[in-house]
């Protein structure tokens, strides 16, 4: 993106960009599916999901009046968000629930932006969200993960051509939508083997008295609904039109 002033940046952020061709939207979706499916690629890109997950906990804590202290991201793609306040009640329940549903909901929001042509707004919105999370990070690996992700967004938004920006924005959105379900499946797999006694679902079970499996199911429902709705928003305007015989 060849911009020389902040005014130019702002103009692109508030303006709209043309929808990319259907083949690019489809190709980025296939690439995102591959990224979620291939274990070695997923292990690296899962860090992005963890950033969104912990960011969801953080936002929920702030919205419900809890005192937010820190976020830590670890090399095994786990993370911890520390907040203080009542250890029970709606605020704590919402904070615990927010983690797994945030990545697919972010993907749904991103799909909504792309559906109305706000490609640049999506990229710069991602940079701002990452900058806000960076302020709360309290370990070196976490700083490295967030800064690296933010740097990729910045390079694409500042130096990338319109096609590169569109490809990145759609690939990122597809990834968030598709990646929403896999951590939920991984969570239940660990729970079934007794390896996640303090997971978000089990914390919610202790807070509400409802079974942890029910909360896992709830996470999955949100992920599936977001994927279906987001896919509908991304694809219709991009699919090739059948000839009128």
What contacts 24+ positions apart, CB below 8 Å, involve 20-27? 20/163, 20/166, 20/167, 20/170, 20/238, 21/238, 22/235, 22/238, 22/239, 22/240, 24/163, 24/166, 24/167, 24/170, 24/238, 25/170, 25/234, 25/235, 25/238, 26/235, 26/238, 27/167
Q: What percent of the chain has pLDDT over 90?
A: 88
Which of the 8 DSSP states describes residue 24?
A: H
Please provide the DSSP assignment of 147-212 as one string. HHHHHHHHHHHHH--HHHHHHHHHHHHHHHHHHTTHHHHHHHHHHHTT--TTSHHHHHHHHHSS-H
Tell me, what's the pLDDT at 105? 98
Measured distance CA(225)–CA(221) in Å, rounded: 6
Identify the pLDDT of residue 1: 45
How many whole angstroms separate alpha carbon 26 and alpha carbon 29?
Answer: 5
Specify whether the CB–CB gap between 62 and 173 falls below 8 A.
Answer: no
What does the pLDDT read at residue 14? 78
Look at residue 184 and tell me whether its pLDDT is greater than 70. Answer: yes
Work out the mean pLDDT of the chain and round it to a whole number: 93
pLDDT digits (tens, 9 = 90+) for 42-81: 999 999 999 999 999 999 999 999 999 999 999 999 999 9
Please compute the mean of the pLDDT values over residues 138-147 and round it to a whole number.
Answer: 97
Residue range 150-169: average pLDDT?
96
The arithmetic mean of pLDDT across residues 118-125, rounded, is 96
Q: How many residues does the chain have?
A: 245
The full DSSP string for 70-138 is EEEE-TTS-EEEEEES-SSSHHHHHHHHHHHHHHHHHHHHHHHHHHTT-HHHHHHHHHHHHHHHHTTB-
Place of tokens 């820190």: 70
Give the predicted TM-score (pTM) of the model.
0.92
Residue in 23, 60, 26, 29 with CA at minimum distance from that of residue 227? 29
Domain limits of the chain?
Answer: 18-234
Backbone torsions φ then ψ of 82, nearest 5 degrees: -105, 125
**Residues 6 or more apart in contact with residue 201 via CB below 8 angstroms:** 187, 191, 212, 213, 215, 216, 219
Query: Quick one: which H or E segment has residue 69?
Result: strand 67-73
At residue 13, the pLDDT reads: 80
- At residue 218 the predicted structure's pLDDT band, cuts being 50, 70 and 90, is very high
DSSP at 16: -
Taking Cα atoms as reference points, which of 66, 136, 57 lies closest to residue 95? 57
């Amino acid at each position: 993106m060849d911009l020389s002033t902040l005014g130019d940046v702002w103009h692109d952020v508030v303006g709209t960009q043309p929808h990319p061709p259907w083949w690019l939207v489809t190709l980025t979706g296939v690439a995102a599916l591959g990224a979620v499916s291939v274990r070695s690629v997923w292990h690296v890109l899962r860090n992005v999901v963890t950033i969104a997950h912990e960011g969801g906990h953080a936002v929920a804590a702030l919205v419900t009046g809890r005192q937010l202290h820190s976020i830590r991201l670890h090399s095994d793609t786990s993370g911890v968000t520390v907040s203080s306040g009542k250890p029970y009640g709606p605020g704590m329940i919402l904070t615990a629930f927010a983690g797994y549903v945030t990545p697919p909901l972010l993907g749904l929001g991103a799909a909504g932006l792309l559906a109305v042509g706000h490609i640049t707004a999506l990229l710069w919105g991602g940079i701002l969200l990452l900058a806000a999370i960076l302020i709360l990070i309290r370990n070196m690996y976490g700083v490295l993960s967030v800064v690296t992700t933010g740097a990729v967004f910045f390079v694409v938004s500042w130096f990338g051509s319109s096609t590169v920006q569109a490809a990145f924005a759609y690939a990122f959105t597809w990834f968030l939508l598709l990646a929403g379900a896999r951590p939920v499946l991984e969570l239940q797999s660990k729970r079934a083997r007794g390896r996640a006694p303090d997971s978000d679902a089990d914390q919610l079970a202790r807070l509400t008295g409802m079974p942890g499996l029910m909360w896992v199911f709830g996470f999955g429902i949100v992920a599936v609904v977001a994927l279906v709705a987001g896919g509908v928003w991304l694809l219709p305007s991009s699919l090739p039109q059948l000839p009128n015989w």
